[in-house]
Amino acid sequence: MEASSEQQKKSENSSSSSSSKLLLYSYWQSSCSWRVRFALSLKGVPYEYKPVNITKGEQFSPDFKRLNPLHLFRCWSMPSNHRPEGLSLGSTSYLTIIVYFVKYLEDKYPQRPLLPADPRLKALNLRAASIINSNIQPLHMLSLLKHLEEKVGPEESLSFAQLNIEKGLLALEMLLKDFASRYATGDEVYMADVFLAPQIVVSTSRFNINMSKFPTLSRLYESYKILLELEASSPERQPDAVH
């Protein structure tokens, strides 16, 4: 009886530990999900990975629609003991906007800050993240490019993505060139780097962007390449990766 009771206690503790983890709904090739994984890796925050295969349309399932009515597959659930006020959905809460999620991580897990204490540098990081989050990534989303490909053809779809990626990268080059050191805003990895590193990889590998046009960003990328947290969170290391 004592052994059985002890086993039950261990099982309950294990279940409680598992349920207290953040749950990341993710697709391995998503740059959005990569940014979240990168941030979690830098913070050292454990999480559970739940694949959502957007090539099979799993983001349109009724269950996922309940989590994210926009059908954007990126979504993070937080158990009730993690829940910020006003973000309730039953016993679990959900965030779907990356900037908000990273800011949530800052509040919940103050270790290894992703925003600097200096107000000017903090604003700079938020601005850089916003450019990527609002002015680059949405313009090369798979759903948008597929729609354009159907309407005007694959070459025009690719050209549209390249034009907008280069426009955004140029804005980042101009924004960061006077502040960048080893990383985007100094010698520590902050939010700007969390957003920028995956964007550069996707820009070069998927859209054939010539980074020589952006010397500051190219130099930063050389620093990113040796970050263990970036490698650990990379698409190829994810459980749903297709090699």
Tens-place pLDDT, residues 177-230: 999 999 999 999 999 999 999 999 999 999 999 999 999 999 999 999 999 999
For 233, the token pair is 């969170």
Which residues constitute the domain of residue 193? 119-229
Contact in structure between 232 and 41 (CB atoms under 8 Å):
yes
Residue 194 counted as domain residue:
yes
Contact in structure between 73 and 26 (CB atoms under 8 Å):
yes
Q: Over pLDDT 90: what percentage of the chain?
A: 49
The residue that leads in pLDDT, 147 or 196, is: 196
What pLDDT does residue 17 have?
Answer: 43
- Based on the fold, state whether residues 88 and 176 are members of the same structural domain: no
As a whole number of angstroms, the distance between CA 96 and CA 93 comes to 10
Do strands 92-95 and 47-51 pair parallel, antiparallel, or not at all (unpaired)?
unpaired
What pLDDT does residue 104 have?
Answer: 83
Residue 50 counted as domain residue:
yes
Q: Tell me the pLDDT tens digit for each residue of 114-141.
A: 999 999 999 999 999 999 988 998 888 8
In degrees, rounded to 5, the angle at the alpha carbon of residue 199 between the alpha carbons of residues 95 and 65 is 30
Which of 74-83, 146-155, 195-204 is predicted most confidently?
195-204
Give just the sign of the alpha carbon dihedral 73, 78, 84, 89.
positive
Q: Is residue 23 helix, strand or coil?
A: strand
What pLDDT does residue 64 have?
Answer: 59
What pLDDT does residue 130 have?
Answer: 92
What pLDDT does residue 86 have?
Answer: 38
User: With bands split at pLDDT 50, 70 and 90, how would you rate the model's confidence at 61?
Assistant: low
User: Where do we find the tokens 């009771």?
Assistant: 5
- Based on the fold, state whether residues 209 and 138 are members of the same structural domain: yes
- What is the count of structural domains for the chain? 2
Residue that is last in its domain, among 112, 128, 144 = 112
What pLDDT does residue 28 have?
Answer: 85
Question: What DSSP character marks residue 69?
Answer: T
Contact in structure between 99 and 133 (CB atoms under 8 Å):
yes
Contact in structure between 233 and 34 (CB atoms under 8 Å):
yes
User: With bands split at pLDDT 50, 70 and 90, how would you rate the model's confidence at 66?
Assistant: low
What pLDDT does residue 230 have?
Answer: 97
Q: Over pLDDT 70: what percentage of the chain?
A: 74
pTM score:
0.79
Closest CA to 176 of 115, 242, 131: 131
Residue 101 counted as domain residue:
yes
- Domain CATH code at residue 87: 3.40.30.10
- H-helix or E-strand containing 48? strand 47-51
- Based on the fold, state whether residues 94 and 123 are members of the same structural domain: no
Separation in Å, CA 70 to CA 66, 75, 97, 105, 142: 10, 11, 11, 23, 14
What pLDDT does residue 81 have?
Answer: 46
Q: Is residue 26 helix, strand or coil?
A: strand
In degrees, rounded to 5, the angle at the alpha carbon of residue 162 between the alpha carbons of residues 159 and 163 is 85
